[in-house]
Structure 1
Amino acid sequence: MRMKLAFLVATALVATPSYLLAQEKGGVINVATIGEPPTLDPMTSTADLVGIVTQHIFETLYTFDKKWAVTPLLAESLPDVSADGKTYTIKLRTGIKFHDGSDMTSEDVVASLNRWVKLASRGKQAGAFILSIAAGDPATVVIKLKQPYAPLASLLAFNNSAAIIIPAEKQADTMTDFIGTGPYMLKERKADQYIQLVRFNDYKPRSGDSDGYGGARHQYLDEIRFVPVPDANTRVEAAVSGQYDYVDSLPVESYDKLKSSTATQPLVLKPFGYPVFVFNTAAGLTKNVAMRKAIRQALSMEDMMAAAFGGTDFYAPDGNIYPRNFAWSTNAGVAGNYNIADPEGAATTAKKAGYNGEPIRILTSRQYEFHYKMAQVAAEYLKLAGFTVDLQVVDWATLTQRRTDKALWDIYISHSPFLPEPALIGSLSPSSPGWWDTPERKSVVDAFTTEVDPKKRIELWANVQQAMYDEVPFMKIGDFNAVSAISTKLKGVDPAPWPYFWNASIKK
């Protein structure tokens, strides 16, 4: 019950009456995003921007409902799991068509899941436990595991590094044909101008009511256009003027200005998630764990959060990976390792670790303005500790490309929503940029993911968080609320960490 309550309170997918109102069909909406997605293949990217756009084109076997429980999407029902936890039998929905007119069968699903295991960071994470993926019949897929693996269904449901289902003949490593089963299909992409999606008339929604990302997905709109608007201040002014129907990721200081607009109103996700500084543990200066600890010792998390989010209405200093209203919340490892703000002590620690003036290369972007503000504060604290700082400010697409190259960076700044399953946290996978891959990581993460008892998993998660603080693959900065803007004419859009526009309609 505590877990269920935590998800209800701590996420933004709680149902609102908006989608229950009568909705009109037709129309085009323009959605302003933080920039150009680096790819439209959600298997090969963990960027939230990729997931936001592509979840309308591609679908997964499962997704999450408004309570963050796994729920079927392309699967007919939840998997039938054998008594020993090693065999998942998945029944597929029938009559599902791809955008090219072909029918989805188990052959497509098996090929897609094999591609996911090969290419996706979270697919590789699951692949370490997968023995085989095979078709039982045209509407059944059987996954056999080497040992029980509790997060499998959640990984199959996640839209980030996603296990999308695409036609069996479209499985090239580099995707060139963007053919999915989703309610909208790609019509045109003009780089740095727009991504145009149009209604897929042969889409077969699930029956019943909409339920978070699950349930029925209605196609009221004719077209959705995602428009890159990299500058945060430009996004704010565009929102206030009503230039766009939805504007994603706005600075929190714009809240009052948005409230005064007649065309647009703010949409707040509370709490949304947490910013992170991810370390390169595989190469360069931060390969040394003692150096990572010295950097952490220098920083004031509270000052970074204050610079990024202003008043405490929008942030809270918190070293727990999950806030206190989540069942996953634990204090393990936090004491003495969070919000230390000791540049002088950090200088001593760095010297003992062998620091010799090499630049710390920090990757950040102004498309998420709060990333940049935190980077500025961090740079000043690190300089006080005697570090040389190379602050590299690039667009978000470039950042997501550079972070895949071990030779190019020491820290990159990102953020994450609070995820329903901790195993979804990217840094737990050794293939995720940062490449945390130590015996301690393997020991605690494997123990956590192979345990199926929910109560024991909560206890084991504390060991994972402790290892994160001991080995510092990344630093959580704090908790924050997110602000977006929505047109007063746009209906049926509920607050969500990855905004979606099936079920949306325009009030006429």
Structure 2
Amino acid sequence: MRITRRQGLVAAAAILAAPRIGFAQGQARPLRFVVNVGLQNLDPISSPSFVTRNFGYMVFDTLVSLDGKGEYKPQMLEGWEVSADRLTWKFKLRGGLMFHDGQKVTSEDVIASLKRWGSRDSIGRRLMAATAELTADGPDAFTLKLSRPFGGVIDALGKPSVHVPMIMPARIASATPPTQQVAEIVGSGPYVFQRSEWVPGDRATFRKFDKYVPRSEPADGLAGGKIAKIDRVEMLTMPDIALRYAALTRGEVDYLEYAPVDLVPRMRRDRNLVFAQASGRANLMYAVSINHFQAPMDNVLVRRAIQQCLDRGEVLAGAGFGGDLGKPDCTSMFMCGAPFENKGGSDAIANPSIDKAKALLAEAGYKGEKIVVLHPLDSPLLNPFGAVLIDRMKRAGFNVDVQGLEWSAIAQRWVQKNPLDQGGWSVIPVVYTGFDMSDPLSNLGVGFNCTGNQPWGYCVQPMVPAIERFEAESDPAKRRAIAEEIQTFALENATFPIAGQFQSPAVWRAELSGVIDFGFPVMWNIERKA
């Protein structure tokens, strides 16, 4: 249930006398950031959760990174060379790269990591399918030879969000299937994970990796020099929204991944707080993950009925994203304000209504089959969206079996293909960033088309050649035209219905300097003002 602004203020005042979050006497004050949901899965390849992505950026590093202008820059790489026909790519690792176990990062580690990522991720699978060879040219260089044109090689290697091609030791990557969590967390990033201190779902701690060699360029988005200026960082979970607010205003935590929406007006008047301003791809999009393997969700008319239940204005208002925070008129699957924004197929969702949903269910011959909705109760972003979705589905005539759970439990079930009577699911309200949704090859309603790689299992055959043309094309204008065609297919088939674009800003203490305003937590480059 969403708390009101008044409830939040009352609750916040009530807990001011509660025991404060402390740290050991004599220990330097850590940097504390609060994430939206609890961390259960530590593997950025096996898990599709944002919280795991946030964790991953603390301990792992990437070959290519996206800067604040949306440009891809070398990160672990010194650079690359590409042949005239753009089919052969040669890469060189920069010097000084070392894993947290003391071993040097080699091209073999990179190849094993990319292959594991490439059998899991939407863009990664397509890149690997277009790859003839991926071979080492010594310990610090490797070559990628394509069997056919692929227009987004660097975009793929620099993919910023779920699933991120993060590099881990070959001994771990090669031994672990991509759908299974790795047993050991060994990265080469700026922080080392303190596994002995990890409390699943509650907190994770990190210490500065003293042997990390940052790039010489200034930090910019995910690119540039990742300098850990504070020795210890703590990732915390606080399901109680009012507790998050009180902890931030009292200086007990430093950074909230998402500001409590009901309290934003009050927080904006607090000179001790700074709000993120990132927009465009840094916006978020509500959507509905549909299990296409489960009847009756394999019927396109039933999925279209779900799509008609998604009144974007009502969803965003119910979650508190009114005014300048919400974009209820946005009908682009690829995010409004992003490079591939378009109107293809948008007539299908321009004016959703319960009456249209009822008519579609009647046309589908829906007989009241059970629809299992997994409702994330602990997520301030997803709980209110789920409440609106469930209400409108019931009003449309769906026989809804609501199972309210913590997100960590839902995330475990989400990636399974079990029948409904064995823990399976039909519908899950989700939220994704524009970093995931804005590229057709990573968009959750397009990128997995006919791959069978994820449990949502959609397959629109006419969309297959369109995606193939998109992935082979390198001309930006032609790619935009193909993206519009792809979006039309996705909306017509309700592969991953969207439910409203919005900004849920991060907020941090004003005494922090060097905070990178990117769209999700970036914990390097931060220090406290003297």
Query: Do the structures match in fold with TM over 0.5?
Result: yes
Unaligned runs of 5+ in 2: 1-27
Are the aligned partners of 2:310 and 2:499 in contact in 1 as well (CA < 8 Å)? no
2:504 maps to 482
Equivalences for 1:84-103 in 2 at 5 Å?
84-103=85-104
Cα deviations by residue, 1:64-123 (Å, 9 ceiling, x for unpaired)? 01111111111111x322233322211111221111111112121112222222344543
Cα deviations by residue, 1:277-325 (Å, 9 ceiling, x for unpaired)? 1211222321111110122224322111111124222101111124553
Alpha-carbon spacing, 1:74–1:305, altered in 2? closer, same or farther (3 Å): same
Name the Cα RMSD after superposition.
Answer: 2.0
Question: What letter corresponds to residue 390 of structure 1 in structure 2?
Answer: D
Question: What letter corresponds to residue 494 of structure 1 in structure 2?
Answer: I
Query: Offset at 1:379?
Result: 2.0
Question: What letter corresponds to residue 425 of structure 1 in structure 2?
Answer: N
1:366 maps to 377
Structure having greater relative contact order (Cα 8 Å, sep ≥ 6)? 1
| Alpha-carbon distance in structure 2 between the residues aligned to 1:377 and 1:391 | 12
| Alpha-carbon distance in structure 2 between the residues aligned to 1:480 and 1:92 | 38
| Alpha-carbon distance in structure 1 between the residues aligned to 2:335 and 2:199 | 40
Indicate yes or no: 2:64 matched with 1:57: no
Alpha-carbon spacing, 1:339–1:398, altered in 2? closer, same or farther (3 Å): farther
Are the aligned partners of 2:208 and 2:231 in contact in 1 as well (CA < 8 Å)? yes
1:418 maps to 434
| Alpha-carbon distance in structure 1 between the residues aligned to 2:345 and 2:263 | 35
Are the aligned partners of 1:268 and 1:495 in contact in 2 as well (CA < 8 Å)? yes
Query: Offset at 1:396?
Result: 1.6
Query: Offset at 1:402?
Result: 1.2
Q: Name whichever of 176-185 and 244-253 sits farther off.
A: 244-253
190, 205, 209: which one pairs with 1:196?
Answer: 205
Are the aligned partners of 2:92 and 2:142 in contact in 1 as well (CA < 8 Å)? yes
Query: Offset at 1:217?
Result: 1.2
Unaligned runs of 5+ in 1: 1-25
| Alpha-carbon distance in structure 2 between the residues aligned to 1:269 and 1:362 | 32
Query: Offset at 1:63?
Result: 0.9
242, 254, 264: which one pairs with 2:263?
Answer: 254
Cα deviations by residue, 1:142-187 (Å, 9 ceiling, x for unpaired)? 1122211223322221242122212222223141221111011112
Equivalences for 1:78-477 in 2 at 5 Å?
79-159=80-160, 160-171=162-173, 172-173=175-176, 174-188=181-195, 189-261=198-270, 263-271=272-280, 272-317=283-328, 318-341=330-353, 343-406=354-417, 407=419, 408-419=424-435, 421-427=439-445, 428-429=447-448, 430=451, 431-477=453-499
Query: Offset at 1:260?
Result: 4.2
Are the aligned partners of 1:65 and 1:214 in contact in 2 as well (CA < 8 Å)? yes
| Alpha-carbon distance in structure 2 between the residues aligned to 1:473 and 1:198 | 42
2:119 alignment partner, SS class:
helix
Query: Offset at 1:414?
Result: 1.4
Alpha-carbon spacing, 1:359–1:48, altered in 2? closer, same or farther (3 Å): same
Alpha-carbon spacing, 1:101–1:242, altered in 2? closer, same or farther (3 Å): same
Query: Offset at 1:27?
Result: 4.2
Question: What letter corresponds to residue 434 of structure 1 in structure 2?
Answer: W
1:275 alignment partner, SS class:
strand
Indicate yes or no: 2:525 matched with 1:497: no
Q: Name whichever of 240-249 and 221-230 sits farther off.
A: 240-249
Are the aligned partners of 1:51 and 1:498 in contact in 2 as well (CA < 8 Å)? no
Cα deviations by residue, 1:232-251 (Å, 9 ceiling, x for unpaired)? 33323322333211112233
Alpha-carbon spacing, 1:456–1:383, altered in 2? closer, same or farther (3 Å): same
Q: Name whichever of 195-204 and 126-135 sits farther off.
A: 126-135
Question: What letter corresponds to residue 403 of structure 2 in structure 1?
Answer: Q
Are the aligned partners of 2:39 and 2:203 in contact in 1 as well (CA < 8 Å)? no
42, 45, 52: which one pairs with 2:44?
Answer: 42
| Alpha-carbon distance in structure 2 between the residues aligned to 1:39 and 1:432 | 17
1:258 alignment partner, SS class:
helix
| Alpha-carbon distance in structure 2 between the residues aligned to 1:63 and 1:495 | 15
1:313 alignment partner, SS class:
helix
Are the aligned partners of 1:309 and 1:370 in contact in 2 as well (CA < 8 Å)? no
Are the aligned partners of 1:43 and 1:116 in contact in 2 as well (CA < 8 Å)? yes
2:19 maps to none
Are the aligned partners of 1:42 and 1:50 in contact in 2 as well (CA < 8 Å)? yes
Alpha-carbon spacing, 1:239–1:157, altered in 2? closer, same or farther (3 Å): same
Are the aligned partners of 1:121 and 1:432 in contact in 2 as well (CA < 8 Å)? no
Query: Offset at 1:440?
Result: 2.1
| Alpha-carbon distance in structure 2 between the residues aligned to 1:320 and 1:487 | 34
| Alpha-carbon distance in structure 1 between the residues aligned to 2:469 and 2:458 | 17
Q: TM-score, normalised by structure 1?
A: 0.89
Are the aligned partners of 1:298 and 1:344 in contact in 2 as well (CA < 8 Å)? no
Question: What letter corresponds to residue 424 of structure 1 in structure 2?
Answer: S
| Alpha-carbon distance in structure 2 between the residues aligned to 1:389 and 1:481 | 29
1:466 alignment partner, SS class:
helix
Are the aligned partners of 1:64 and 1:213 in contact in 2 as well (CA < 8 Å)? yes
26, 29, 32: which one pairs with 1:30?
Answer: 32
Q: After TM superposition, which residue ranges in structure 1, 4 or more long, deviate above 6 angstroms?
A: none
What is the identity percentage for the equivalent residue pairs of Structure 1 and Structure 2?
Answer: 26
1:309 alignment partner, SS class:
coil
Cα deviations by residue, 1:389-411 (Å, 9 ceiling, x for unpaired)? 22222212112111112331122
Q: Name whichever of 156-165 and 326-335 sits farther off.
A: 156-165
| Alpha-carbon distance in structure 2 between the residues aligned to 1:124 and 1:215 | 27
